[in-house]
Amino acid sequence: MNNKIFGVSIANLKKIQKKIKNDQDLAVQLWNTNNFNAKMLATYIADPNELTMELANDWVHSIEYYVLSETLSSLITKSPKWKEIMYSWMESDKKFVKSTGYYVFANALKVNKTISVREIEELLSIIQTQIRTESN
């Protein structure tokens, strides 16, 4: 939990993202700095089409703040592998991994991803059951 935080505002990170657009290699390099602000920018500039399950898992397992869970979930939702990743993470016993999986679910609903009513009902039922036993 010793990530450096420079205190760069999200607004400024978004300005940088607009100049860079997508750059998968740079995103990986930024994430690997272990700096919170660099990780945030990495989620903004990563190419969702180049995101592998291995990289997504590496990233989610290094998350230590909920805001990174939220921003990573936005990236995952744009990936063709979003549903596979979502279900995998929702089954995790690690809190940040699991919560990021549920953030992906929420984002998928928000951006009208293809998810059936039956799947939504099943996931809501799981949430209703688990909410009583989860720590957060």
In sequence order, the 6+-apart residues with CB closer than 8 A to the CB of 33 are 39
Closest CA to 99 of 123, 117, 125, 73: 73
Residue the block writes with tokens 């690690």: 94
Which pLDDT score, from 0 to 100, does residue 5 have?
85
Query: For residue range 94-132, what is the model confidence (pLDDT) as tens digits?
Result: 999 999 999 999 999 988 678 888 988 988 888 888 776
Range 40-48 average pLDDT: 98
Q: What are phi and psi of 90, to 5 degrees?
A: -65, -25
**Would you say 43 and 100 are in contact if contact means Cβ atoms under 8 Å apart?**
no
Dig out the tokens for 123 from the structure.
């996931």
Would you place residue 134 in the very low, low, confident or very high pLDDT band (cuts 50, 70, 90)? low
